[in-house]
Amino acid sequence: MFSEIRAVFSRRYLLQNTAMEVFMANRTSVMFNFPDQATVKKVVYSLPRVGVGTSYGLPQARRISLATPRQLFKSSNMTQRWQRREISNFEYLMFLNTIAGRTYNDLNQYPVFPWVLTNYDSEELDLTLPGNFRDLSKPVGALNPKRAAFYAERYETWDDDQTPPCHYNSHYSTAASALHWLVRIEPFTTFSLCANNNKFDHPDRTFSGIARSWRNCQRDTSDVKELIPEFYYLPEMFVNSNGYHLGMREDRTMVCDVDLPAWAKKPEDLVRINRMALESEFVSCQLHQWIDLIFGYKQRGPEAVRALNVFHYLTYEGSAKLDSITDPSLREATEAQIQSFGQTPSQLLIEPHPPRSSAMHLSPLMFKDQMQQDVIMVLKFPSNSPVTHVAANTLPHLTIPAVVTVTCSRVFAVNRWHNTVGLRGAPGYSLEQAHHLPIEMDSLVANNTGSNKRQITDLVDQSIQITTHCFVVTADNRYILVCGFWDKSFRVYSSETGKLTQIVFGHWDVVTCLARSESYIGGDCYIVSGSRDATLLLWYWSGRHHIIGDNPNNSDYPAPRAVLTGHDQEVVCVSVCAELGLVISGAKEGPCLVHTITGDLLRALEGPDHYLCPRLISVSSEGHCIIYYERGRFCNFSINGKLLAQMEVNDSTRAILLSSDGHNLVTGGDNGVVEVWQACDFKQLYIYPGCDAGVRAMDLSHDQRTLITGMVSGSIVAFNIDFNRWHYEHQNRRSTEHGGRSSGLENISVVTLIKNKMHLCVHLAS
């Protein structure tokens, strides 16, 4: 069990520093409260040295687990990453909540998120209008000028000598408000009933509509609630799927599902548009001011008074020392007050939070004359064998940022990546200059010198069709995992030497597909193998030891972490997401299955009629699952099994991928056409000019600016990607009947490009 611990945070409970939260590899977390802080310290020193995990750029040390929230904030690299737009507003707010002591394990300290929109009445919501967005420099209570004046007067005329003055008697985040929002889903329904004598709240006080809730927190002097993260990712919270009898309002309407804004036709629309608003430029350029109010220098003291941001004194850290209260009844009363008043997060900084850097490069104004060429370069390998796998591990901190390719004949190449995005479009920039091309062919393959170091010679089972699923490349580009061998193993090879480093057994029949989860600092990740034996096995890849399993002394016989069952035919495709703790797999026929990484079968994803043979799966960390079925059929499912969209295309698709934010789907197939779609509804955003060969594999560079495709002709093609521009054009398009925009070039041929001297080709003849 201890080996499964991934992060340890010291925590507060009832404003006392006596708790601890442990995060596990299987995506669960547990919070413990101890008698005193000394016990917390002892327990931390008895647990593995994992710090607060690997996500925040902090050392994995016990002193980090015991650090104060302010120390964690100061030492972490997350603010700089947010400023540079490497992480989203959502991710940054979750980071701030987490280090400031907010947790899903304590309703009194539930994570807090801002209201960002003000318009819940229009049929259409224009996210380019500033008037549709909330002023994030003010707390909820100060947004309405009349109500702000009321609170200011309350503070100025405070006459209770026993209690310090405050603007608000209620708080923006309490256990009651968390239950208010989540009353329709378990376990919160049960918690809510337990807190209310086994009855639901009065129907007029129950969360029944978004617009109504927004109006209440603008008018009601006892309501200053902010939101919770679920508003930005959990459509199920707005649906009364369990059919609870929530009562009838005074206006004679029954309370059932939450009434949505006019601009949201279904809960998924609400969550998607909320999230788009949260990530918009209007929010990005103001968010630091809201952070100042909730986590920063306007949280307390004179600045809080000026900002109309003072709450009851018992909501603040350090306001009550429970250990010094000897009278049991007084202590109990104080604890009850802390629980009912809410708890303000730990203060993370005492100076203004820096703003996010400008996004002028994202501005529509920049798009007009900047129509970049679609194709950056074409790289032709000496072999004519189709490029069946592409892995673009291009992060600059890697020893060898590279695009690793594998062909049908199992020749692989480690093609060095040069980050040229900053140069593209610069004055005088020419793609003729070879060192400005992003991909440099592996010299051993180009010169045909070390072919023995680049050829996987072990025999695969003759009945296996070599596809992109047969290979996985580790995040550091140093190892390639290959399946399909007659002995029912999959194997690990060094990409430097081509040598076999590990053989992994576990299945009762030939291994047909492999997948890798996203990788964390250190290179640890999950590997899933699927087989003709109709099962999947979940394995752990140790980035430290470069083996399957975490025991280098037992690398010959590693044990799988979980066995995933439920299919009754050969498994042909699989995707694994460590962030969600899920594995989604498809067999030759039948529904795709969703398992947890502990091996529990959660549900089947049933496609419409004739959507029977899944072939490709891509899942986003936002919880959307794109499945491609034979004969050009696509489905988008939520991970809770709801079919969100479907489409059919006139192509035999061979490769799909989702952008890192999950908003964009890229597809390519036998027709040689790469297309970009809006993932939520399959609206077409862009069509690249057709290539003269079919697409077999694809991947995106880490910055999401370059798409690399593997072609049947033995080439790879690097395309410019501009998701932001396409979304902007899509929103402004009057007619969406022909959603894509083609760039005028009808066909890309490797030969044509050379003839026309378009400077897009590095051609190395065999």
Q: What does the pLDDT look like over 246-258, one tens digit per residue?
A: 999 999 999 999 9
pLDDT value of residue 754: 27
Please, which pLDDT band fits residue 553 given cuts at 50, 70 and 90? confident
pLDDT digits (tens, 9 = 90+) for 596-636: 999 999 999 999 998 999 999 999 988 889 999 999 999 99
According to DSSP, residue 193 is labeled H
* Percent of the chain whose predicted confidence (pLDDT) is above 90: 75
673-688 average pLDDT score: 95
Give the torsion sign (CA, 624, 121, 727, 686).
Answer: positive
Q: Name the amino acid, one letter, at 492.
A: V
pLDDT digits (tens, 9 = 90+) for 462-490: 888 999 999 999 999 999 999 999 999 99
Task: Show Cβ contacts of residue 607 under 8 Å, excluding neighbours closer than 6 positions.
Answer: 591, 592, 614, 627, 629, 633, 635, 643, 646
pLDDT digits (tens, 9 = 90+) for 287-314: 999 999 999 999 999 999 999 999 999 9
pLDDT value of residue 760: 32
Task: Show Cβ contacts of residue 726 under 8 Å, excluding neighbours closer than 6 positions.
Answer: 664, 676, 685, 686, 741
* For residue 459, pLDDT beyond 90: no
Give the Å distances, CA to CA, from 465 to 406, 499, 716, 752: 14, 23, 21, 31
Block residue for tokens 């001297």: 757
Tokens of 281: 């430029």
State the burial class of residue 745 (Cβ atoms within 10 Å of its Cβ: 0-12, 13-18, 19+).
Answer: middle
pLDDT digits (tens, 9 = 90+) for 489-527: 999 999 999 999 999 999 999 999 999 998 876 788 999
* For residue 434, pLDDT beyond 60: no
Question: 3-class DSSP state for residue 73?
Answer: helix
Please, which pLDDT band fits residue 738 given cuts at 50, 70 and 90? very low
Block residue for tokens 């390519």: 668
Domains and CATH numbers, the chain: 2-67 (2.30.29.30), 89-352 (1.10.1540.10), 360-423+436-456+649-737 (no CATH), 458-605 (2.130.10.10)
pLDDT value of residue 359: 63
pLDDT value of residue 372: 59
| Per-position b or e across 100-134, b if 16+ CB within 10 A of its CB | bbbbbbbbbbbbbbbbbbebbeeeebebeeeebbb
Residue 539 CB neighbours (<10 A): 22
* Percent of the chain whose predicted confidence (pLDDT) is above 70: 91
Kind and range of the H or E element at 741? Answer: none
pLDDT value of residue 457: 87
Answer for the pair 8, 50: CB distance below 8 angstroms, yes or no.
yes
State the burial class of residue 650 (Cβ atoms within 10 Å of its Cβ: 0-12, 13-18, 19+).
Answer: exposed
Q: What is the DSSP string of 4-65?
A: GEEEEEEEEETTEEEEEEEEETTS-EEEEE-SSHHHHHHHHHHS-S-TT-STTS----HHHH
According to DSSP, residue 259 is labeled B
pLDDT value of residue 550: 78
624-651 average pLDDT score: 94
Mean pLDDT for all residues in the chain:
89
Kind and range of the H or E element at 108? Answer: none
Selection from 405, 418, 463 nearest residue 699 by Cα: 405
Alpha helices, H only, 611-661: none
pLDDT value of residue 10: 97
pLDDT value of residue 421: 53
* For residue 241, pLDDT beyond 70: yes
